[in-house]
Structure 1
Amino acid sequence: MHDAGQATPARNTPTAISASILALSAEVARRKEAADKRKAASTGGPVFIPSTKTFKKPKPVQNKGVEARAAIDHAIYEKEHIYDRPDVADERVYLELKRKAELYELRKTLNADSDSLDAPAKDDNDNELVDFVQKRHDEQESGHRADHGPVIKSLQESDWVEFIDEFNRKRLVRKSQLPAMGLKFVTGTGVVDSSHSGPDLVSRHMSHEQERQQWEAEAVAASQSEYVATNTLPHFDYKRENRQMGVGFYAFSQDEAERRKQREELLQIRANTLMAQKVAVAIKAAKQKRIEDRRKMIAERAIRRKRLREHGVLPSSYNSSSMQVQDDEGDALDLVRLMRFKYEQT
Structure 2
Amino acid sequence: EPDVFEQSRSSLQKKAKLYDTLTNAHFDADQLENMELLLVDFERKKPDAQTSPPEDSKRNDEWVECEDEFGRTRVVRKRALEKISRPNTLDGNADIYSSESSFASRAHIRHYDSRQENRTVGVGHYGFAQDNGEREEQMRNLKELREQTTAARSKARPSSDRRKAILAKRAEYIHERHAQIRRSMNRP
Whether TM exceeds 0.5 here: the answer is: no
Structure whose alpha-carbon radius of gyration is higher:
1
**Alignment TM class, shorter chain as reference:** 0.3 to 0.5
Greater RCO (Cα-Cα under 8 Å, separation 6 or more): 2
TM-score (norm 2): 0.33
